[in-house]
């Protein structure tokens, strides 16, 4: 596995990371603990050094699982986690008050079985707490050695600039993929200007770009996609054209749709590190295989031409969650 450096920070990670949310939260029943630990360790054995978690994933169970799984290799890995919700519960709303950031950090260190957090994100921008206070608190934690790097998630350009002026932002994490290209408009240019790395979550469109989901697919009752407008039966049918096109491109490259989608992200900028998630070993291996796929300028031009002819239908979040995304 090749490595990449996230922006100007010097934070070096595997070129593809592992998003761990789905192991215990968001996409149906949580994995069996032993199987989850083995999957995470398989990822490490195949070269993944960058693992993404959050107190909200569970809540709390994902961090504990990751801490146990990576304990034998802790010094060889980069662990990212997040603060920003009341009691770690998304349903209870936002809380990025300085005292909560400190409480969450101390608890996360124990769950992760570590004396430091490599990358600490604000999970969502809290309109009730000035970003300067958030950045200042993380700056203190960095000074104390409890945190190494500061990150933001789904933050808009003004928030990024204001935070960066207080404590350099190492990474922005936001959704970015072949079917959600909004960051290209304003965010990516600012990241390049400021030397901030970018970590796209949902690089496979929450599974849709793999081709494994169609209009007939049913999700578990506790699967987040049940309330996502883009995953309504009607919109899945409308968006199938993108999956079909991906299939043609993948066939020409002797690859899978998922691999082309991830390889496309890797080709965008050298400081982009996608974090696909999975609960299956064969999908993990498939995702990591994208690192060895090189898309030529002709391939990229073909993809761009095709994308311009496709209109993706449906919002990526339900209205009540969309309000938490900072513009």
Told to judge if 25 belongs to the known catalytic residues of this protein, a careful annotator would answer no
Largest separation between any pair of C-alpha atoms in the chain: 54
Distant-in-sequence, close-in-space partners of 31: CB < 8 Å, separation ≥ 6? 23, 24, 39, 279
The Cα–Cα gap between 205 and 261 comes to 9
Query: Which long-range CB contacts under 8 A does 32-35 form with residues at least 24 apart?
Result: 33/65
Choice among 57, 121, 176, 317 that is catalytic: 57
Nearest 5°: the CA angle 299, 214, 199 is 50
Long-range contacts from 1-5, C-beta under 8 angstroms, 24+ separation: 1/46, 1/47, 1/48, 1/49, 1/288, 1/291, 2/291, 3/49, 4/197, 4/270, 4/271, 4/272, 4/273, 5/197, 5/271
Strand intervals (E) in 53-136: 78-83, 117-122
Torsion of CA 300, 281, 25, 71, to 10 degrees: -110
Instruction: List residues bridging with 152 in a β-sheet.
Output: 122, 172
E strands in 86-158: 117-122, 147-153
Catalytic positions are: 57
């Amino acid at each position: 596995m090749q490595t990449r450096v996230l922006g100007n920070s010097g934070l070096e990670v595997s070129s593809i990371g592992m998003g761990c949310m789905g192991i215990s939260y968001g996409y149906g029943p949580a994995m069996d603990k032993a199987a989850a630990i083995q999957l995470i360790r398989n990822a490490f054995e195949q070269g993944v050094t960058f693992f993404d978690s959050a107190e909200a994933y569970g809540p709390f169970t994902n961090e504990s699982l990751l801490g146990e799984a990576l304990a034998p290799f802790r010094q060889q890995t980069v662990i990212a986690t997040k603060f920003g919700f009341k009691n770690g519960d998304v349903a209870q709303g936002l809380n990025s008050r300085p005292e909560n950031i400190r409480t969450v950090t101390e608890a996360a260190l124990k769950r992760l079985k570590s004396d430091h957090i490599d990358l600490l994100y604000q999970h969502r921008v809290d309109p009730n707490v000035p970003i300067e206070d958030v950045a200042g608190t993380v700056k203190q934690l960095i000074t104390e050695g409890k945190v190494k790097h500061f990150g933001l998630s789904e933050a808009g350009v003004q928030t990024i600039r204001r935070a960066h002026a207080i404590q350099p932002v190492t990474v922005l994490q936001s959704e970015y993929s072949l079917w959600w290209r909004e960051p290209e408009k304003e965010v990516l240019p600012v990241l390049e200007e400021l030397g901030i790395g970018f970590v796209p979550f949902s690089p496979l469109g929450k599974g849709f770009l793999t081709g494994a989901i169609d209009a007939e697919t049913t999700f578990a009752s506790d699967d987040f996609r049940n309330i996502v407008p883009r995953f309504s039966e009607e919109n899945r049918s409308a968006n199938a054209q993108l999956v079909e096109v991906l299939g043609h491109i993948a066939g020409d490259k002797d690859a899978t749709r998922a691999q082309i989608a991830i390889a496309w992200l890797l080709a965008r900028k050298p400081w982009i590190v996608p974090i696909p998630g999975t609960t299956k070993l064969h999908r993990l291996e498939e995702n990591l295989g994208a690192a060895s796929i090189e898309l030529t300028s002709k391939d990229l031009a073909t993809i761009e031409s095709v994308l311009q002819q496709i209109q993706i239908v449906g919002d990526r979040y339900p209205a009540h969650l969309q309000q938490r995304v900072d513009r």
